[in-house]
Amino acid sequence: MFVIVVYDVDVERVNKVNKYLKRYLFWVQNSVFEGEINKDLMDKMMSGLSKILKEKDSAVVYIFDGFRIERKILGVVKGFTDNII
């Protein structure tokens, strides 16, 4: 599956999140990563990322598996609550 991760975290944790996401995905731009990933690694990445996020941190993960676009939000929900777009 193809995923895009966009994070919005406290400046203290930016480097930690960057380093962590680089293990799984490619850096695109300020706070944006993307890449192809299988389900097992995806689950591992989501679980690890959840543990890094604190307080008002937030990450939006877009998952593209064929026609269906799924949105998962880790940390604080800032904009939307629906999981399926």
Sites of contact with its own copies (CB under 8 A): 2, 4, 6, 8, 26-32, 34, 58, 60, 62, 64, 66-67, 69, 78-80, 85
Nearest distance in Å: CB 69, its own copies: 6
**Dihedral through CA 43, CA 23, CA 9, CA 35, nearest 10?**
-70
C-alpha–C-alpha distance, residues 42 and 1, integer Å: 9
Q: Which of 39, 80 has the CB closer to its own copies?
A: 80
- The CA distances from residue 70 to 29, 30, 46, 51, in Å, are 21, 22, 14, 21
3-class secondary structure, 28? strand
Q: Which of 45, 74 has the CB closer to its own copies?
A: 74
Q: Which of 6, 41 has the CB closer to its own copies?
A: 6
Nearest distance in Å: CB 49, its own copies: 14
